Every structure is written in C-alpha cells, then in structure tokens.
C-alpha cells in the first residue's frame, strides 16, 4: 500500500499513458495537481485511495483521457462548479464518481452532458437528491449507466429513454416512485435492468416485450404487490 506524498518525478515519464493508484491510502491528502501535466495520459484510476480536498481543475488539461475513476474517495469536497473541468475531456469514455458526495454540485448532469464520447457512467452512492431534466441528451453513446443508491424520490427522468445504446441500467435503491414510463421500450439493446428497492406503482407492458433482456431484477421494486406475467418471448432471461 502506498501512502504519503506522490513524487512529482512522475512528470519525467513523458509518454505515460496508464496510471493506477487505486486501493492505496493517501490519508486525505489532495490529488496532486501536477497530474494535469501528464499530457499523454489515457487511463487514470484513483479509486478508493483516500484522497481528500478539492479535485484539482488541472485534471481537465489531460485532454487525452479515456478512463477516469475517482470512485470511493469520500473525503473529496466537490463544491459548486467543482466538476466543470470535466467538460475539457472530449475523449472520456469511462467515468466513475461513485461514492463521492455530489450534493454541492447541482450542475453535475449539465457537465456530464458535455461528454459526447461517454460509454460508461457510474454515479452510485453520490447522495444525489435531485435528477434534473435534460432538453437534449448529448451522451447518447452511453452503454452502461449506474445511478444506484441515491435519494431521488421522484419519477424516472425521461431523458434516460433517449440512451438507445444502453446495455446495462442500474437503478437499485434510487427512491423512484410512480410508474416506469412506457419510454422503456426505446431501450431495445438493454441486456441488464435492475430497478430493485424502489417504490414504483406499476410496470409498463412494454417491459415484457424486451426480448434482449438477460437479467431483470424487480426485487422490492414496488410499493404494493401485484402479479407479474412474463412474456414467453423473453427467452434470454436467466
């Protein structure tokens, strides 16, 4: 396990493309701003490394990034405007901010909507209590979306149904209420859907026409019990 300060001598590695400092213990120290000078970096994994303080905006200088994970660094302080640097990463395909407190960053969705190359987005356990509407969705290449373990206590946002390339949708324990919209039928590539531990009132009939589904979890998904009749065409379900 690494700890203490990260030596700026990393900057001498001019061709560095892959940097993984995950699963270490940096004791709440800030993410070094000089990482923003690693101009060739494509992969940056800082998951569960106990970084703290504010996220340095210099990370936005690494315009070559394809993969970024800050997952599990719960001591990071993400203030209003604290995610704006993400908009400078046009090639970002994988973003994981799970278990960061994003309650002080109300612009989180507007920022993410500026990432047209995004393929995977993980925002589990970010203590989000509001999911804004989106007039137009720009990250339509998304294949994996994880919003689990948040506190929305609202209906499902309709912009999700514009993500027609989604293969995996994880909405476990989001506090969603009301009906699951019929727009679900737009997600014709969906293989895995988990809406367990919510408070839905009913399911759309279109759900049972989704022959692409392999995994469907409806455990404790409804505020009251009602019968579910599976369509015999859902032959891929396991």
The answer to whether 232 touches 207, Cβ cutoff 8 Å, is no
- Label residue 9 by pLDDT band (50, 70, 90): confident
Q: Residue 75 to residues 146, 151, 164, 191, 232: CA-CA distances in angstroms?
A: 21, 20, 35, 34, 48
Q: Which of 72, 65, 88 lies closest to 18, judged by CA?
A: 65
Gap between the Cα atoms of 218 and 8, Å rounded: 49
Which residue intervals of the chain bear CATH 3.80.10.10?
Answer: 1-130, 143-151+159-237
- Please give the average per-residue pLDDT across 186-194, as a whole number: 96
Gap between the Cα atoms of 148 and 175, Å rounded: 9
Gap between the Cα atoms of 171 and 202, Å rounded: 16
Q: Which residues have a Cβ under 8 Å from the Cβ of 205 and sit 6 or more positions away?
A: none
pTM of the model: 0.93
* CB hemisphere CA count around 140 (13 angstroms): 10
What is the predicted pLDDT for the residue at 11?
85
Q: Which residues have a Cβ under 8 Å from the Cβ of 225 and sit 6 or more positions away?
A: none
Name the fold adopted by 143-151+159-237.
3.80.10
Instruction: Give me the residues paired with residue 145 across strands.
Output: 121, 169
- Label residue 4 by pLDDT band (50, 70, 90): low
Task: Reply yes or no on whether the pLDDT at 72 is more than 60.
Answer: yes
What is the assigned CATH class of domain 1-130?
A: alpha beta
Task: Reply yes or no on whether the pLDDT at 25 is more than 60.
Answer: yes
Which uninterrupted H or E stretch holds 67?
strand 67-69
């Amino acid at each position: 396990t690494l700890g203490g300060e990260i030596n700026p001598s990393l900057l001498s590695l001019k061709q560095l493309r892959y940097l993984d400092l995950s699963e270490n213990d940096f004791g709440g120290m800030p993410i070094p701003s000089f990482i923003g000078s690693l101009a060739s970096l494509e992969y940056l994994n800082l998951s569960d490394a106990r970084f703290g303080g504010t996220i340095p905006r210099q990370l936005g200088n690494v315009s070559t990034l394809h993969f970024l994970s800050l997952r599990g660094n719960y001591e990071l302080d993400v203030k209003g405007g604290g995610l704006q640097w993400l908009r400078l990463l046009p090639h970002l395909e994988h973003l994981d901010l799970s278990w960061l407190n994003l309650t002080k960053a109300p612009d989180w969705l507007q920022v993410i909507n500026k990432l047209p190359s995004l393929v995977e987005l993980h925002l589990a356990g970010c203590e989000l209590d509001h999911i804004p509407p989106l007039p137009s969705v720009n990250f339509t290449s998304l294949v994996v979306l994880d919003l689990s373990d948040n506190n929305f206590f609202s209906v499902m946002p309709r912009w999700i149904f514009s993500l027609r390339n989604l293969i995996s949708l994880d909405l476990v324990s989001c506090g969603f209420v009301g009906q699951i919209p019929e727009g679900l039928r737009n997600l014709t590539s969906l293989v895995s859907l988990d809406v367990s531990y919510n408070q839905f009132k009913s399911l759309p009939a279109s759900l049972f026409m989704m022959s692409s589904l392999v995994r469907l979890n409806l455990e404790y998904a409804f505020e009251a019990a009602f019968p579910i009749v599976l369509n015999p065409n859902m032959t891929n379900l396991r």
